[in-house]
Structures are given as structure tokens and as C-alpha cells.
Amino acid sequence: METHILGFPRIGARRELKRALESYWKGKSSELELQQTAAQLRKTHWQIQQSAGLSFVSTGDFSYYDQMLDMSAALGVIPERFGQAEEIDLATYFKLARGDAQANVPAMEMTKWFNTNYHYIVPEISPMTSPRLLSRKIIEETAEAVELGFTPKPVLIGPITYLELSKGRNGFNCWEKLPELVAVYTDLIKELSALCEWIQLDEPILCRELSAQAAANFTPVYARLNAAANSSKLLLTTYFDTLDDNLDLALNSGCGGLHLDLVRGNKQLESLLAKLPESMIFSAGIVEGRNIWKTDYTAALSRLRPLYAALGSERLWLGSSCSLLHAPVDLTNETDLDPEIRSWLAFAVQKCTEITDLATATTVNGDNPVIIKNREAITSRRKSTRVNNPEVQQRLGSITPEMLKRASPYPERKTAQSWLKLPLLPTTTIGSFPQTGEIRRNRLAYKKGEINTEEYTGFLKDEIKHVVTLQEELGLDVLVHGESERNDMVEYFGQQLSGFCFTANGWVQSYGSRCVKPPVIFGDISRPQAMTVEWIKYAQSVTDKPLKGMLTGPVTILCWSFVRDDITRKEVSSQIALAIRDEVQDLEKAGIHIIQIDEAALSEGMPVKQRDRTSYLEWAVESFRLATTGVADSTQIHTHMCYSEFNDIIESIADMDADVISIESSRSRMELLNCFKDFKYPNEIGPGVWDIHSPRVPSVDEIVELLEKACTYIPKERLWVNPDCGLKTRDWEETIASIKNMVEAAQIMRNK
Ligand code: GLN
Ligand code: ZN
């Protein structure tokens, strides 16, 4: 039985690629050194796959920045602003990804890869785009694997997914370039076919509703690609959801094989078996590529054995559900992790072995020692008192409808909140202030035990006092404590909640050299004690102005963690919501009457298929309400979101029923407010007037102009003045200058 993975993480177990990239960008190391690190990583990753016993090693999954950008480079889809390149050398490649500061050419756009936290570079296509084979990277890397003695299976992003995710310049219809693009694809496939038996074409887009053009072009395009493959075969890979309506399209693609994600789409095996053409192999994506839990072998085998009975070892392959890009690299490095919890986990390296373990076990009936050992680990996790907390489970069962709404509707709350005596167009910030080197140094020193708790607390209090006083001087109306005690808006809370644990090296790539280390939610979540109250209370004690308490919302904590897979995401989210609810109430008791609960990641949790989005939004909104509605009408609840594509979800956002929402909008010059033309947002709103992603200080005039625009959409009584997002990454000089301008602009508007 053939076994494989859809791709391996390229960043390296010790983030070697990140280090090499950043050092190269800083000019501290040469291109050659970077290329050597990359080659070494590829070789290591191929060795891992080979020694796990997989039939193939994945090639073309390595990337210096992003695999979608690699595809654009291969296809010659390069925006005109970068000139007419004859070939894509590394310097050009990085300009596409990161912009060319010297020539003042902005980078290509970046966005999230389906519903993961990985960001890809969006292809830009215009009438001028002239597709041609511009980068031979995938061919070279496949040849490199052959030379080293590996059996490669190169992976390409399929043309349908590529085009569906591309963006046409000024409304250009990208599909007009389809014939030329397909010609490049066939060139690529022809060359690759000389090096390998199988070529993997990723078409995750088939798990989403297709556009009419994609649906109409799929079959003819695949007929051409298959014809180009010569003696090798195409493996059509889909993942992240079920195929549903697109199953027939995939089955009739004429490809040599079809791969389905059996972890995230498990309802269609029977119809698949009935319809799978004789000429097609079926690859079962049985080992989850996006999580860190051990596969339950017993459950997996009960699904695989009937498949094996029907297809035999010739036509059944086993693989990872999707690329392992979204999983951390190697569990072996987690020596500090609690041994019990560790016994429940598998990272990318371990997942490779899981696939071959399962392949061995599928073909024989009965248990082998590996299966028995796995069952012990799975049972230990299921029964562990670390995982199960009866109190939490009971509390979850006793949520009443009253706990999901505020006591009174917004108009009454507005009256009840008038005691806060806020001026028209109140000014505020989103929570964090610059995380200076001094703050980071002190945090590190405390972590290393170089300074004691008292010293560290003293340092943070001084910092808080400093930012509060400064905000008073600058004339802001609603103040924040600055979040200097927080390293990260999710980790900070995870560390104080039970049910969470943390890895030392569990990094996954977010974009480019950027990695995140998501906390692990392994058990029922509860809050042993208040998490933020002391800091906020202290901040309030040094000012008479209202201080805004700052929390992270349940959906954001969920989306930015590795979540347990034994209960639903909705249940986990409710558990977090109950913990946050307690914190909100404790803040209120401590005299904090404005509380912001950030839901920066609400849109990231959105399911791949359009039709599943309503039910997701329902529980996501419910979680937010559960977290926030336990306060009096006179307490003001804020929320914050870091994006501006609201049109589709604005009603759900209104349903969250926060008194005030702040959103990102300055970059789009308030374009997002267009959606308020048709939909009258019922509560208060602060559209960002200052783009905090850039060091540029917005002028007073510019802010006034944005506010005037905002006033035409939102009644002035319900408008707030704030930046786009937190100021953590900015420096003090530009922060102070920008706040000054923002406060002055608000004053000008009030006078008007
Ligand atoms: N309160 C957080 C901050 O200011 C919000 C960050 C975010 O939205 N990503 O940093
Ligand atoms: Zn934000």
C-alpha cells in the first residue's frame, strides 16, 4: 500500500529557515548561505519521510516564503510594477513578497489560506500578464531529490484553485488567462513527468462552492493536464472539507488518483466507493495534518479496513489529511512537556510514522503491539482527570437563555451609561502601547529568575502609571493600561486558565519567516482566579478618567490555539466564554465600567463552505454574548476586530450586541463604511482613523477628513475616534504624535 504526506513543514524543527531568512534580509549572510540552509532542510525532511517508510517524499513543498508565490513565479504571473523579469532570482522573489522599499514598490497582497492561520501571497493578474515558465524551482528540487536517491512526488497548486484565489487588477477577469496558464502547467507537468511517477495537484478549492467559471473549466483543463503527464500520473488532492457537490467533478477528472481529507470530511465514503473509476486510486487522508493529537488507530482502522476490502492494496493509499505545513515539526524536542500530555501528541515527524503504522495494520486483521500501545494513549487521554472537569461540564449544561443577552436593549443601555460623561466623539485606543525593548528585557529577566516578582511587578506598575498619565496629558477620553504585562493576547490568558498547556518548540508558519506557537487546549477550561483585575484596578487608581479593561474573546482564543478534538469547537468556545464572563464580572466589581473584549479572529474561524457559515457565526456570536452579558446596563462593553471585510457578516457583528465596536478601516479610507449604507449598525462604532501597520503619522486634516466621511454613514452620537488596532508594534515617537493629531481632529469635529 502506498503511503505519503501532502507536504512537510519547511521552517525547520529549530526554525532554521526563519533564522536564515532574517539574517539574509538583514544582509548578515549571503544568498549562498541561505540556499545551503534550505538544501539541508529539504534533505532532512526527505530523510524523515523516507525513514518513516513513506513511499514518496514530497517535493516542491519547500518555499523561501510561500508556495502560492512559488506557483506565481513558476507561471510567470508577476505584477507589472516589478518590471519584466527574465527570471526570478531570490532578490526579485523577496521583493514580490515584501515589497521594494528602495523603489517604493508595495509588496503583493497577502491573505489567509482557507480557514487556516497560514497566509499566502495573492496572485495578481491583469490584461498585461504574460504567463510563461519563469521559475524552474519545482523541477530543480525534484531533480535534487532524485539525485539524493529519494522517490519524489512533486506538488503543485492546481490551476483551478490558483485562479479562484487570484485577484484581477481593476476588475479584470482572471479566467481570460486560463488558456495561457494551462499551457505553462502542461510544460511543467511534462518536465516533471520525466522525474517521477506521480505528480500531486492540490485543488482544495473543490471543497468550497465553485464559481461558474471554475466549474465549467475543470473537466477540459484536467483533460489537458492528464494528456501532458505522459507516463506519470496526476494525483488530485483535496482537503479541509468534503467534496459534496464537486465529488463527481473530481471522480471524472481523468486523474490517476483522488485524495480526500477524511478528518474534516467524512460523510461521502460510500458514494465514493460506488463511483470510483477502475483507473483511479484512492488516497485516504486519515492522519490530521492541522492538529497535534495522536491519531486514534482503532477508530481509523475501522474506517480503513472496509476501504481496503473494497480497493485492495493496489488502489488504496494512506496519507495525511492535508499538508503537514500546519503542524509543528517534532515532538521529540518537547522535553519539558508533562509526560502524560506528551503521550497524547504527534507532530509532523510523528505523523509520518502514524501513516505507515496504519498502512501496516490495515492489511492484517487483529491488533499488533503498536495498535495496542496507541489505544492505551487514546484511552488515557479520554479518561484523564486532567481533561475532564465535572464542574465545568455541569456549568456548561446550566447556561440559560438569560445568560446570553444583556438586561436591556442598547438604547436603554445608552441612557444608563450616560453617567460615564463621555464627550461627543470620544477618543480611545485599542489597548496596547509600544512594547519597548525595556519591557521585553524585564519580562525575559523575570522569566530567567534574574529579577523577582516584586521587582517585576514594580516595573510594570511604573510602566502602567506612565502610560496612563501620558494618555491623560494627551487628552484621550477613555484610557487603557497598555498591556505591558502581556506577551501575546492569547498566550497571556491561556497561561492563567486551566485546560491549557504550552510547547517549547511547537512553531507553525504564519507567513514568510513569521511563526506562531499556539497554546494547546487539552482539557476542560476553567479560571482558577482573576487574570487581569489587579493591573486594571491599579491603572484606574492613578486616574479619574474612565479606564477600559482589556480582555481577549473566546473565539479568538479558540482560533489561535490547537484545540482538543474530543468535543466540539462550540463547546470549547463556551467553556472559554464562561471563564471570560467571570473575569468581566470581576472587573465590574472592581470598579471598571468600560470593558473591551477583543475578537480579532472572529472571521478566521469561518468554515470553508459558505453554507456552513451561518451555524458557525451563530455559536461564535453566542460565545461572545455569553462572555459579555453578565454586567449591568450601566457598564459599557466594547469589542474590537482587526479587519474590514464586513459586508457578509455585518449582521452577525451587530448581533454580538457590544455597546461599542472598533474596527480597522483607515487603509481602505473608510470604504468599509459602504456596508453601513444598506445596513444600519445599531450601536456605537469606532472606524479606525490611523493605520497602525505603518510608521507614518496621520495628519490632523487627514483624520478630520476620514471622520467627516464616517459622519455621513454613522450618526455622530454613535461615533468613536480610535486607531485601527493596538500600538504594540509602533514606537513612542510616532504614537505620541499620532494620538495628538487624533485628539485634535476629534476636537475640531466637535466644534463643528
Ligand atoms: N487589545 C489588543 C491590542 O491592542 C488588540 C490586538 C488585536 O486586535 N490584534 O494589542
Ligand atoms: Zn486589531
What is the position in ligand 1's atom list of the atom closest to the CA of 640?
Answer: 8
Alpha-carbon distance of 500 to 495, in angstroms, equals 7
Return the pLDDT at 271.
84
Backbone angles phi, psi at 736, to 5 degrees: -65, -45
Which of 259, 593, 638, 693 is catalytic? The answer is 693
What is the position in ligand 1's atom list of the atom closest to the CA of 431?
Answer: 4
- The β-bridge partners of 111 are 120
DSSP structure string for 176-211: GGHHHHHHHHHHHHHHHHTT-SEEEEE-GGGGSPPP
Atom 5 (ligand 1): residue with closest C-alpha? 726
Ligand 1 pocket mutation pick from 640, 644, 729 by most atoms within 8 angstroms of CB: 640
Ligand 1 pocket mutation pick from 429, 432, 492, 665 by most atoms within 8 angstroms of CB: 432
Arithmetic mean of pLDDT over the chain: 95
Taking only the tens place, the pLDDT of each residue in 13-53 is 999 999 999 999 999 999 999 999 999 999 999 999 999 99
Atom 4 (ligand 1): residue with closest C-alpha? 726
Cβ 246 vs Cβ 210: under 8 Å: yes
Atom 3 (ligand 1): residue with closest C-alpha? 726
Half-sphere exposure of 395 (CA within 13 A, CB side): 20
CB atoms near residue 67 (< 10 Å)? 24
Half-sphere exposure of 700 (CA within 13 A, CB side): 9
Taking only the tens place, the pLDDT of each residue in 541-595 is 999 999 999 999 999 999 999 999 999 999 999 999 999 999 999 999 999 999 9
Alpha-carbon distance of 549 to 593, in angstroms, equals 8
Half-sphere exposure of 125 (CA within 13 A, CB side): 22
Return the pLDDT at 86.
82
Is it the case that residue 607 has pLDDT exceeding 90? Answer: yes
How much is the pTM? 0.95
Is it the case that residue 654 has pLDDT exceeding 80? Answer: yes
Is it the case that residue 643 has pLDDT exceeding 80? Answer: no
Atom 1 (ligand 1): residue with closest C-alpha? 431
DSSP structure string for 84-129: --SS--HHHHHHHHH-BTTTTBPPPPEEE-TTSS-EEEPPEE-TT-
What is the position in ligand 1's atom list of the atom closest to the CA of 552?
Answer: 1
Cβ 96 vs Cβ 108: under 8 Å: yes
Ligand 1 pocket mutation pick from 489, 548, 557, 693 by most atoms within 8 angstroms of CB: 489
Is it the case that residue 105 has pLDDT exceeding 90? Answer: no
For residue 403, report the distance from its CA to the centre of ligand 1, in Å: 26
Half-sphere exposure of 604 (CA within 13 A, CB side): 22
311: nearest Cα among 321, 303, 323: 303
Atom 10 (ligand 1): residue with closest C-alpha? 726
- Report residues whose beta carbon is within 6 angstroms of any ligand 1 atom: 430-432, 483, 489, 550, 598, 600, 640, 642, 725-726, 728
For residue 601, report the distance from its CA to the centre of ligand 1, in Å: 11
CA angle 242, 248, 253 (to 5 degrees): 105
Position 608: which residue type? V
693 is catalytic: yes
Given the DSSP bridges, would you call strands 562-563 and 514-516 parallel, antiparallel or unpaired? unpaired
Return the pLDDT at 589.
98
Taking only the tens place, the pLDDT of each residue in 479-503 is 999 999 998 999 999 999 999 999 9
Return the pLDDT at 644.
66
Contacts of 652 (CB under 8 A, 6+ apart): 617, 618, 620, 621
Atom 6 (ligand 1): residue with closest C-alpha? 726
For residue 177, report the distance from its CA to the centre of ligand 1, in Å: 40
Q: Tell me how far CA of residue 492 lies from CA of 99, 485, 508, in angstroms.
A: 32, 9, 19
**Grid coordinates in use for 294?**
495522536
Cβ 468 vs Cβ 539: under 8 Å: yes
| Three-state SS at 4 | strand
**Grid coordinates in use for 466?**
506612565
For residue 563, report the distance from its CA to the centre of ligand 2, in Å: 22
Q: Taking residues 729-743, what's their average pLDDT?
A: 96
What is the position in ligand 1's atom list of the atom closest to the CA of 430?
Answer: 4
Alpha-carbon distance of 702 to 412, in angstroms, equals 34
**Grid coordinates in use for 209?**
462552492
Taking only the tens place, the pLDDT of each residue in 198-215 is 999 999 999 999 999 999
Return the pLDDT at 693.
82
What is the position in ligand 1's atom list of the atom closest to the CA of 550?
Answer: 1
Cβ 46 vs Cβ 145: under 8 Å: yes
Three-state secondary structure readout of 486-531: CCCCCHHHHCCCEEEECCCCCCEEEECCEEECCCEEEEEEECCCCC
Q: Taking residues 174-187, what's their average pLDDT?
A: 98
Cβ 26 vs Cβ 343: under 8 Å: no
Q: Is the dihedral of CA 532, 537, 542, 543 positive or negative?
A: positive
Return the pLDDT at 361.
97
For residue 606, report the distance from its CA to the centre of ligand 1, in Å: 20
Alpha-carbon distance of 321 to 391, in angstroms, equals 35
Return the pLDDT at 675.
77
Is it the case that residue 304 has pLDDT exceeding 70? Answer: yes
For residue 498, report the distance from its CA to the centre of ligand 2, in Å: 26
Alpha-carbon distance of 348 to 355, in angstroms, equals 11
Q: Which ligand is the nearest neighbour of the Cα of 549?
A: 1
Is it the case that residue 332 has pLDDT exceeding 80? Answer: yes
Atom 9 (ligand 1): residue with closest C-alpha? 600
Placement of cell 490530521 in the chain: 288
**Grid coordinates in use for 438?**
525595556
Ligand 1 pocket mutation pick from 471, 483, 486, 661 by most atoms within 8 angstroms of CB: 483
Taking only the tens place, the pLDDT of each residue in 109-147 is 888 899 998 999 999 999 999 999 999 999 999 999 999
Is it the case that residue 670 has pLDDT exceeding 80? Answer: no
| Three-state SS at 547 | strand
Return the pLDDT at 270.
83
CB atoms near residue 82 (< 10 Å)? 18
- The β-bridge partners of 293 are 345
What is the position in ligand 1's atom list of the atom closest to the CA of 600?
Answer: 8
Return the pLDDT at 268.
78
For residue 113, report the distance from its CA to the centre of ligand 1, in Å: 22
Alpha-carbon distance of 42 to 20, in angstroms, equals 14
Atom 8 (ligand 1): residue with closest C-alpha? 600
Alpha-carbon distance of 688 to 313, in angstroms, equals 58
For residue 545, report the distance from its CA to the centre of ligand 1, in Å: 21
Residues in the chain: 752
In our burial notation (b when 16+ CB lie closer than 10 A, e otherwise), range 481-520 reads bbbbbbebbbbbbbebbebbbebebbbbbbbbbebbbbbb
Backbone angles phi, psi at 106, to 5 degrees: -70, 150
| Three-state SS at 154 | strand
Q: Which ligand is the nearest neighbour of the Cα of 726?
A: 1
Return the pLDDT at 668.
67
What is the position in ligand 1's atom list of the atom closest to the CA of 726?
Answer: 4
Return the pLDDT at 410.
98
Q: Is the dihedral of CA 712, 714, 715, 717 positive or negative?
A: negative
Cβ 400 vs Cβ 622: under 8 Å: no
CA dihedral 517, 584, 693, 660 (to 10 degrees): 150
The one-character DSSP state at 656 is T
For residue 430, report the distance from its CA to the centre of ligand 1, in Å: 6
State percent of the chain over pLDDT 90: 89
